[in-house]
Structure 1
Amino acid sequence: MSTRAVIRQVDWTVQRDEEPDAKPRTYARECDVCGEGSPRTTDPDAAAEWILGHVRTNPSHNSYTEIIKRPWRAWMG
């Protein structure tokens, strides 16, 4: 048998973490044809430039996915 008790109900808030100590936002691109991907970087333009190099050597690979990692935080209200 188990017992469960609710002590109090609290509201939670969730938002992007913009604090100075937050992890950096990072970007990458991935080829939808072969699955090869760019290195993860904090520079979104560098990740986009990877596509040009990849398509130059693989002309039939013309579909890509952008991968963005953003830090989020949650706290009780």
Structure 2
Amino acid sequence: MSPRAIIKAAEWTLTEETAEGASRAVFLVECLTCGARSEAVNNEPQPVEMWTLRHTGLNPTHRQFKLTTEWLWRVCPAPGNPYFELEQEAES
């Protein structure tokens, strides 16, 4: 006998995480030639851009990089979702 599941539809909203202290984005760069990595930086890509240019300046043949960006999201119940009313009550 197969397990059964009941799935109910409810509306949800996908938004950017805005909780206090949450980073909007995190940036990290890795050199594809040697594997060297920049430090992860919150919210501002310029430090990893500068790291990339300095790395190539010190290693002229290292010209390919991989940028990894983390963007934090939150899923919230939309109006009409039963969890929406529960969260509204909890916030009051």
Superposition TM-score tier, normalisation by shorter sequence = 0.7 to 0.9
Q: Residue 73 of structure 2 aligns with which residue?
A: 72
Root-mean-square deviation (CA), in Å?
1.8
Q: Residue 31 of structure 1 aligns with which residue?
A: 31
d(CA) in 2 for partners of 1:3, 1:67: 39
d(CA) in 2 for partners of 1:56, 1:5: 59
d(CA) in 1 for partners of 2:20, 2:73: 13
Larger Rg computed on CA atoms: 2
- Aligned pairs, number: 75
Name the SS for the 1:55 alignment partner. helix
Q: Residue 17 of structure 1 aligns with which residue?
A: 17
User: What runs of 5+ residues in structure 1 fail to find an aligned partner?
Assistant: none
- Asked which structure has the greater RCO (Cα within 8 Å, sep 6+), the reply is 1
User: What runs of 5+ residues in structure 2 fail to find an aligned partner?
Assistant: 79-92
Q: Residue 60 of structure 1 aligns with which residue?
A: 61
- Give 1:68's aligned amino acid: T
d(CA) in 1 for partners of 2:69, 2:6: 39
**TM-score under structure 1 normalisation?**
0.77
d(CA) in 2 for partners of 1:68, 1:18: 17
Identity over aligned residues, as a percent? 23
Q: Which has a greater percent of helix?
A: 2
Name the SS for the 2:41 alignment partner. coil
